[in-house]
Amino acid sequence: MSEIYRALADETRRLLLDELLTRDEQTLFELCTKLAMNHDLTPSRQAVSQHLDVLEAAGLVRTERRGRYKLHTIDTTPLAEIAERWPLRKDQQ
């Protein structure tokens, strides 16, 4: 579970997850473009690739190679562990 928290600790990684939530199966180029256009961030492709590697290691992103393209898809399943560990209290529901 510590990998999930580590992955979510970085704002750029959270933004990448936000972008993948809007549309799955995006390439590295598409994600770099979305960061620049939607969030005014211009990290290098290598930096974004490293962020995606951290997200994949935490189980938050799945990667599939199709031909010469690598497509990235969000997987929110690990986030359920957080909700299970700290569920809403009855007075907060």
Distance CA 29, CA 15 (A): 15
Average model confidence (pLDDT) across the chain? 94
Neighbours of 34 (CB within 10 A): 20
Token reading at 81: 């562990």
CA 46 to chain centroid, in Å, comes to 16
The pTM for the full model equals: 0.88
- pLDDT interval class at 86 (50, 70, 90): confident
Whole-number Å distance between alpha carbons of 76 and 74: 6
- Report the pLDDT value the prediction gives residue 80, as an integer from 0 to 100: 87
Local confidence band at 64 (pLDDT 50, 70, 90 cut-offs): very high
pLDDT greater than 70 at residue 93: no
